[in-house]
């Protein structure tokens, strides 16, 4: 089933019950008879990077609105800056949008309109509403003023119209160098809105454009271009993100000066996702510095990355619906994304069996040479998928996690003497554990109940545990790439002064396992086939690397694992004797792996020492940091960077103080140098912050306890 047909069947969009504020506006417009009852939107990417899930939100919005109102949605590349844009991105963006399940009505480029834009600009010049500026970029900045200072009119502001026309023509003809002059709109240098202080309309760039080649050496600025693009295409509602709110008066101003259609700009809040980064700059850096394997690395929040991860287009659309649409800044929870991924994949993925960490099982009462097949449905809730035959023989693999020699409470998987079901096959009982010299479990000797074919015992005895398995003789060796969140912390952008956001990367975000086994049916799969390995998770046959001979699977998302939760809760219950009083119902996911309390032993690991501050100085380029040299009685003083500058703007005053230093902290390489410890201070905010001092007769190096 193609994703397009799925979209048409409405499974993705029809669970939105409420309208959003944008649809409310459109409803009102329609009711008022605006735009002759038409709705036209557009998705306007700049072809200078790959699309990410934030763009997906915008794509779903624009195409979704058009569809809902029987309107149109164009794809328009906003290619007004030749220096950063490339054709390579154009094709990638088109692929991503189609894959997401949308088809544009018109395909356009801003560069298609360069002639019209130039003509309109000339109109502005002739009307005395634009002038050629001869100030340098630096002077322009100075003349613009700042938030508190009104701008000053440029000396060229009243250049005669004829001269403006002539210079603008020469500008177009290439008679000036980059940055030498530019065209500015004559609006209001005193405006509190900086965008209205005579914004630049055209700048000179002697650069080759990916579509128009060398035809132009002047290129329109965003504010000038965008409204015209929308106008030319007859867009009715121009949807963009919040940061363009301040630009709307300019968007409107330009269009009001011309006898053209005037679309309405409406801003919405962009998508932020926790545990990831979304800015083009940071994504580029991840790629360039090889923290990931490229733009389509399955850990990337790019559309092509998620595609390679095995995320389905419909789950991305569903996610886009579920997060809603509003004007307030937001951070969506990646747990919601994972939830819709599972929800979608549960319905659409055939089930297979694969063993990630194999443990050999020998069925001692099963004949050595015998083989047989068990039939198993490909989907337990949807028999349209049909079934497949799974081979079985004396030697099998099960998951290491499904056996424990000393089972904990509530364990109903395999352990010595217990019986479990091999899914869709039979019941087995563990008779013996074979170990190697090091005491590692090497193999399990089991017996099977021949009466339990298919997995049910005729005597009706209940067997609670069910394990997945693979016949050793028939197993296909597969490679599994287990992906996890790229970052360890909810907000990777939030870093201490001097710390780098890259330090928040999750070092375990990729684990490649080569010794895995799967049932033979995987030979039937094609690249990009999404499957579930039962009881483990959803996987996808890698788009590029998978072949029947080199079966490589990417883990899309694990199944929910309630046993892991039980185990974890048991663990923390044992540690704290009684059940932890849930400290906060909002237990953050970041903290959930760390124990809620530490013991005295943990605390004793801290080597706290008295230290005398010998030197203290401001750190240039860091408005929170002080650089300290602290004598802790160990010969060479320790260099410590402390975020206390707001309190001690004059560092001199803390020299000589006896403070408490964490002496056995692993040194951290900061932008400014190595920080070899930490000083303790009290107070959360800078405006009430005091160093913890040791008073009385103590010497550097004395222990603090």
- The pair phi, psi for residue 516, each rounded to 5°, is -100, 160
Q: Which of residues 39-78 bind RNA (CB under 7 A)?
A: 44, 46, 78
- The pair phi, psi for residue 100, each rounded to 5°, is -65, -15
Q: Residue 633 burial by CB count (10 A; 0-12/13-18/19+): exposed, middle or buried? A: middle
The active-site residue, picked from 11, 34, 46, 503, is 46
**How many other CB atoms are there within 10 angstroms of residue 601's CB atom?**
7
Task: Please say whether the beta carbons of 157 and 186 come within 8 A.
Answer: yes
Q: How far is the CB of 191 from RNA (least distance, A)?
A: 8
Q: Which of residues 580-599 bind RNA (CB under 7 A)?
A: 582, 585-589
Q: Which of residues 257-286 bind RNA (CB under 7 A)?
A: 269
The active-site residue, picked from 280, 327, 404, 431, is 280
Residue 436, token pair as written in the block: 């190697």
Quick note: the x/- pattern for RNA over 508-537, rule CB under 7 A, is ------------------------x-xx--
Q: Closer CB to RNA, residue 183 or residue 659?
A: 183
Q: How far is the CB of 99 from RNA (least distance, A)?
A: 22
Q: Does 147 bind RNA (CB under 7 A)?
A: yes
Q: Residue 494 burial by CB count (10 A; 0-12/13-18/19+): exposed, middle or buried? A: exposed
Q: Closer CB to RNA, residue 370 or residue 560?
A: 560
Q: Closer CB to RNA, residue 320 or residue 554?
A: 320
Q: Does 326 bind RNA (CB under 7 A)?
A: yes
Stretches 239-247, 603-611, 662-670, 675-683: which one binds RNA (CB under 7 A)?
Answer: 239-247
Q: Does 18 bind RNA (CB under 7 A)?
A: yes
Interacting residue with RNA among 99, 118, 156, 222 (CB under 7 A):
222
Interacting residue with RNA among 335, 434, 598, 634 (CB under 7 A):
335
Stretches 30-38, 86-94, 218-226, 629-637: which one binds RNA (CB under 7 A)?
Answer: 218-226
Which residue do the tokens 């990077």 mark?
49
C-alpha dist (Å) from residue 80 to 76, 77, 158, 172: 12, 9, 28, 15
Q: How far is the CB of 561 from RNA (least distance, A)?
A: 5
Residue 481 is among the residues annotated as catalytic for this protein: no
Q: How far is the CB of 524 from RNA (least distance, A)?
A: 19
Quick note: the x/- pattern for RNA over 453-492, rule CB under 7 A, is -xxx--------xx--------------------------
Q: How far is the CB of 153 from RNA (least distance, A)?
A: 15
What's the residue count for the chain?
705
Interacting residue with RNA among 11, 105, 343, 528 (CB under 7 A):
343
Q: Closer CB to RNA, residue 146 or residue 602?
A: 146
Query: Shortest CA distance to 641 belongs to which of 624, 628, 656, 659?
Result: 628
C-alpha dist (Å) from residue 69 to 35, 38, 66, 201, 428: 13, 8, 5, 34, 59
Query: Shortest CA distance to 645 belongs to which of 663, 670, 630, 627?
Result: 627
User: For residue 578, what are the contacts with CB-CB under 8 A and spacing of at least 6?
Assistant: none
Contacts 24+ apart (CB under 8 A), 403-410: 403/359, 403/430, 403/441, 403/444, 405/433, 405/441, 408/567, 408/570, 409/570, 410/566, 410/570
- Distance separating alpha carbons of residues 532 and 554, to the nearest angstrom: 11
Which residue do the tokens 């809760």 mark?
569
Q: Closer CB to RNA, residue 91 or residue 180?
A: 180
Q: How far is the CB of 314 from RNA (least distance, A)?
A: 15
Residue 280 is among the residues annotated as catalytic for this protein: yes
Stretches 101-109, 120-128, 186-194, 676-684: which one binds RNA (CB under 7 A)?
Answer: 186-194
C-alpha dist (Å) from residue 471 to 397, 414, 513, 537, 683: 6, 17, 19, 20, 62
Q: Closer CB to RNA, residue 338 or residue 631?
A: 338
Q: How far is the CB of 24 from RNA (least distance, A)?
A: 5
b/e burial code for range 539-572 (CB count within 10 A of at least 16 → b)? bbbbbeebeeeebbbbbbbeeeeeeeeeeeeeee
Q: Closer CB to RNA, residue 129 or residue 423?
A: 423
With CB under 7 A as the rule, give the number of residues binding RNA.
Answer: 98
Q: Which of residues 391-430 bind RNA (CB under 7 A)?
A: 410-413, 421, 423-424
Stretches 240-248, 294-302, 638-646, 695-703: which one binds RNA (CB under 7 A)?
Answer: 240-248
Residue 698, token pair as written in the block: 């103590």
Q: Does 299 bind RNA (CB under 7 A)?
A: no
Give the per-residue SS3 of 395-449.
EEEEEHHHECCCCCCCCCCECCCCEEEECCCEEEEEEEEEECCCCCEEEEEEEEC
Quick one: which H or E segment has residue 675? strand 673-675
Q: Does 331 bind RNA (CB under 7 A)?
A: yes
Q: How far is the CB of 44 from RNA (least distance, A)?
A: 7
Query: Shortest CA distance to 216 belongs to which of 110, 289, 140?
Result: 110
Q: Closer CB to RNA, residue 171 or residue 679?
A: 171
- Distance separating alpha carbons of residues 280 and 50, to the nearest angstrom: 8
Q: Which of residues 612-631 bind RNA (CB under 7 A)?
A: none
Q: Is 294 left (phi over 0), alpha (psi -120 to 50) or beta?
A: left
Interacting residue with RNA among 325, 486, 489, 619 (CB under 7 A):
325
In three-state secondary structure terms, 669 is: strand
Q: Closer CB to RNA, residue 51 or residue 332?
A: 332
Query: 681-682 and 690-691: which strand pairing?
Result: antiparallel
Quick note: the x/- pattern for RNA over 545-574, rule CB under 7 A, is --------------xxxxx-xx--x-----
Query: 264-268 and 237-241: which strand pairing?
Result: parallel
Q: Closer CB to RNA, residue 69 or residue 675?
A: 69
Q: How far is the CB of 547 from RNA (least distance, A)?
A: 26
Q: Does 133 bind RNA (CB under 7 A)?
A: yes
Q: How far is the CB of 387 from RNA (least distance, A)?
A: 13
The active-site residue, picked from 270, 327, 360, 431, is 270
Q: How far is the CB of 401 from RNA (least distance, A)?
A: 9
Please list the active-site residues. Answer: 46, 270, 280
């Amino acid at each position: 089933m193609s994703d397009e047909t799925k979209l048409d069947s409405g499974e993705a969009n029809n669970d939105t019950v409420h309208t959003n504020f944008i649809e409310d506006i459109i409803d009102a417009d329609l009711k008022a008879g605006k735009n002759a009852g038409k709705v036209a939107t557009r998705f306007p990417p700049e072809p200078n990077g790959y699309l990410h899930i934030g763009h997906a939100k915008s794509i779903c919005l624009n195409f979704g609105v058009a569809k809902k109102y029987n309107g149109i949605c164009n794809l328009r590349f906003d290619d007004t800056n030749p220096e950063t844009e490339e054709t390579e991105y154009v094709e990638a963006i088109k692929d991503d949008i189609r894959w997401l399940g949308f088809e544009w009505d018109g395909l356009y480029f801003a560069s298609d309109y360069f002639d019209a834009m130039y003509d309109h600009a000339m109109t502005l010049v002739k009307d005395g509403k634009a002038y050629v500026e001869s100030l340098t970029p630096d002077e322009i900045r100075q003349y613009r003023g700042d938030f508190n200072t009104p701008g000053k009119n440029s000396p060229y502001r009243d250049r005669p119209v004829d001269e403006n026309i002539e210079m603008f023509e020469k500008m177009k003809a290439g008679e000036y160098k980059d940055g030498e002059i530019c065209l500015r709109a004559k609006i209001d240098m005193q405006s509190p809105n900086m965008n209205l202080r005579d914004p630049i309309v055209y700048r000179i760039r002697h650069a080759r454009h990916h579509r128009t080649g060398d035809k132009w050496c002047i290129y329109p600025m965003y504010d000038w271009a965008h409204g015209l693009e929308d106008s030319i295409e007859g867009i009715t509602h121009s949807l963009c993100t919040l940061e363009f709110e301040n630009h709307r008066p300019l968007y409107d101003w330009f269009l009001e000066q011309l006898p053209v259609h005037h679309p309405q700009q409406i801003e919405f809040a962009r998508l932020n996702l926790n545990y990831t980064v979304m800015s083009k700059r940071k994504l580029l850096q991840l790629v360039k510095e090889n923290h990931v394997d490229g733009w389509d690395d399955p850990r990337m929040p790019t559309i092509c990355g998620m595609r390679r991860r095995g995320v389905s287009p419909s789950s991305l659309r569903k996610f886009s619906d579920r997060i809603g649409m509003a004007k307030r800044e937001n951070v969506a929870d990646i747990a919601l994304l994972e939830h819709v991924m599972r929800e979608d994949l549960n319905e659409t993925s055939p089930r297979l069996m694969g063993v990630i960490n194999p443990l050999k099982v020998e069925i001692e009462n099963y004949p050595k040479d015998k083989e047989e097949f068990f039939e198993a449905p490909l989907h337990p809730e949807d028999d349209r998928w049909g079934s497949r035959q799974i081979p079985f023989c004396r030697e099998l693999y099960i998951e290491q996690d499904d056996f424990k020699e000393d089972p904990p409470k509530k364990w109903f998987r395999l352990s010595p003497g217990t019986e479990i079901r091999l899914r869709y096959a039979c019941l087995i009982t563990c008779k013996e554990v074979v170990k190697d010299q090091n005491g590692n479990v090497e193999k399990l000797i089991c017996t099977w109940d021949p009466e339990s074919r298919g997995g049910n015992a005729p005597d009706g005895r209940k067997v609670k545990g069910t394990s997945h398995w693979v016949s050793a003789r028939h197993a296909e060796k597969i490679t599994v790439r287990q992906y996890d969140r790229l970052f360890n912390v909810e907000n990777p952008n939030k870093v201490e002064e001097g710390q780098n956001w890259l330090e928040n990367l999750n070092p375990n975000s990729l684990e490649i396992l080569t010794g895995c086994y799967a049932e033979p049916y995987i030979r039937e799969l094609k690249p990009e086939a999404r499957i579930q390995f039962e009881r483990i998770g959803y996987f996808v046959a890698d788009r590029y690397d998978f072949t029947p001979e080199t079966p490589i699977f990417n883990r899309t998302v694990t199944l929910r694992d309630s046993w892991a939760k039980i185990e974890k809760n048991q663990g923390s219950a044992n540690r704290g004797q009684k059940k932890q009083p849930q400290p906060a119902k909002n237990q953050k996911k970041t903290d959930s792996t760390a124990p809620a309390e530490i013991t005295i032993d943990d605390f004793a690991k801290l080597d706290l020492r008295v230290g005398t501050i010998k030197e203290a100085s401001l750190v240039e380029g860091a408005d929170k940091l002080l650089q300290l040299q602290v004598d802790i009685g160990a010969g060479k003083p320790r260099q410590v960077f402390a975020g206390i500058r707001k309190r001690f703007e004059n560092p001199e005053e803390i020299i000589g103080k006896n403070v408490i230093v964490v002496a056995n902290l692993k040194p951290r390489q900061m932008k400014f140098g190595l920080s070899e410890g930490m000083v303790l201070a009290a107070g959360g905010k800078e405006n009430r912050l005091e160093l913890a001092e040791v008073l009385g007769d103590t010497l550097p190096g004395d222990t603090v306890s």
